[in-house]
């Protein structure tokens, strides 16, 4: 009923996703018994764990299933400690940035990179050079075609963060094309208190670069984005993050 009321009042705030905490029944039962023995009682007035579990399956489980069918459910394994669950929940609530670093030109069909599949997943594609040119034009500048090389890394990070802040609440993932291109860019990004959590390093052979056969949707789009000419510019950055144990290799 609460979900239906919220849907009727859509202007008050669109639902981005539902956070669902999952754990086996025996763990939930043990935790509930421990709380009740300490004097804490459930807010719904349940007198036993079985009654509370029945109410969940009759009411809440259906709502969670609806979110899952709509692709709006985010799941957290609640069997671990409270601190771990809180960190996992915060990770779902935080926005993510996918770096497409190295050269600005990305391979794809006819030399064009398709990002429609990425945008359909609640993501936004941002071209750093376009952002820099727009910011430069707003300031009355008229720079040469090598604008991205002339802009200091700290200024580039400032422009990017401004674009991230202007995005709507529905955007959860930003695909950032053409940044960072140098080690100085990466250092400027990390020093801006944003930090880097993980980097997806996709390794493909020369014959497979630029090809996404066998993949579709979001994965195929990311493969197109990650198949960059990265020997000179990108690999040093990936190796630096690898030393921080934050690289996911595929």
Class for domain 95-249, per CATH?
Answer: alpha beta
Phi first, then psi, for residue 60 (nearest 5°) are: -70, -40
Class for domain 2-90, per CATH?
Answer: alpha beta
Nearest CA to 119 out of 170, 178, 68 is that of 170
Q: Would the pLDDT of 121 be above 80?
A: no
pLDDT reported for residue 143: 54
Report the run of H or E that residue 74 belongs to, with start and end: strand 73-77
Q: CATH 3.40.50.300: which residues of the chain?
A: 2-90, 95-249
Written in H, E and C, the secondary structure of 201-237 is ECCCCHHHCCCCCCCCHHHHHHHHHHCCCCCCCHHHH
pLDDT reported for residue 217: 45
Task: Find the DSSP H helices in the chain.
Answer: 2-8, 25-37, 49-55, 61-69, 82-93, 116-119, 128-138, 147-150, 153-166, 183-190, 217-226, 234-243
What is the residue-wise DSSP string for 177-195? Answer: ETB--SHHHHHHHHTTT--
Task: Considering only the C-alpha atoms of the chain, give the largest distance between any 2 of them, rounded to a whole number of Å.
Answer: 73
Tokens of 222: 């990311």
Tokens of 226: 């990650």
Q: What is the pLDDT of residues 9-34, one digit of tens each?
A: 555 556 667 888 888 888 888 888 88
Give the whole-angstrom CA distance, residue 72 versus residue 77.
Answer: 17
Helix (H, G, I), strand (E, B) or coil at 80: coil
Q: What is the pLDDT of residues 214-250, one digit of tens each?
A: 444 444 444 444 443 343 444 455 555 555 444 444 3
Nearest CA to 42 out of 27, 22, 28 is that of 28
**Average pLDDT score over the chain:** 67
The C-alpha torsion from 69 through 73 and 79 to 85, rounded to 10°, is 180
Q: Would the pLDDT of 112 be above 50?
A: no
Residue keyed to tokens 């921080």: 244
Nearest CA to 226 out of 175, 190, 189 is that of 175
State percent of the chain over pLDDT 90. 0
Q: Would the pLDDT of 75 be above 60?
A: yes
Phi first, then psi, for residue 214 (nearest 5°) are: 90, -5
Highest mean pLDDT among 9-13, 88-92, 166-170, 202-206 belongs to 88-92
pLDDT reported for residue 223: 45
Label residue 176 by pLDDT band (50, 70, 90).
confident
Label residue 183 by pLDDT band (50, 70, 90).
confident
pLDDT reported for residue 3: 60
Q: Is the pTM of this model over 0.85?
A: no
pLDDT reported for residue 56: 83
Q: Would the pLDDT of 180 be above 70?
A: yes
């Amino acid at each position: 009923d609460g979900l239906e009321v919220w849907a009727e009042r859509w202007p008050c705030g669109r639902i981005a996703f539902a956070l669902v905490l999952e754990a086996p029944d025996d763990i939930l039962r043990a935790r509930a018994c421990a709380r009740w023995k300490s004097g804490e009682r459930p807010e719904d007035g349940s007198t036993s764990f079985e009654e509370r579990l029945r109410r969940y399956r009759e009411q809440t489980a259906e709502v969670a299933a609806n979110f899952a069918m709509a692709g709006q459910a985010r799941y957290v394994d609640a069997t671990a400690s409270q601190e771990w669950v809180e960190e996992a929940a915060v990770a779902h609530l935080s926005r993510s940035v996918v770096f497409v670093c190295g050269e600005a030109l990305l391979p794809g069909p006819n030399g064009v990179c398709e990002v429609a599949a990425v945008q359909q997943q609640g993501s936004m594609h941002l071209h750093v050079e376009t952002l820099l040119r727009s910011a430069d034009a707003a300031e009355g500048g008229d720079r040469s075609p090598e604008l991205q090389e002339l802009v200091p890394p700290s200024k580039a990070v400032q422009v990017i963060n401004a674009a991230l802040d202007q995005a709507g609440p529905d955007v959860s993932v930003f695909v950032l094309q053409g940044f960072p291109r140098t080690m100085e860019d990466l250092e400027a990004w990390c020093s801006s208190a944003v930090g880097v959590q993980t980097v997806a390093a996709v390794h493909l052979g020369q014959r497979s670069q630029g090809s996404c056969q066998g993949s579709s949707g979001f994965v195929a789009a990311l493969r197109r984005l990650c198949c960059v000419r990265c020997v000179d510019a990108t690999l040093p950055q990936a190796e630096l993050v690898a030393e921080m144990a934050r690289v996911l290799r595929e």
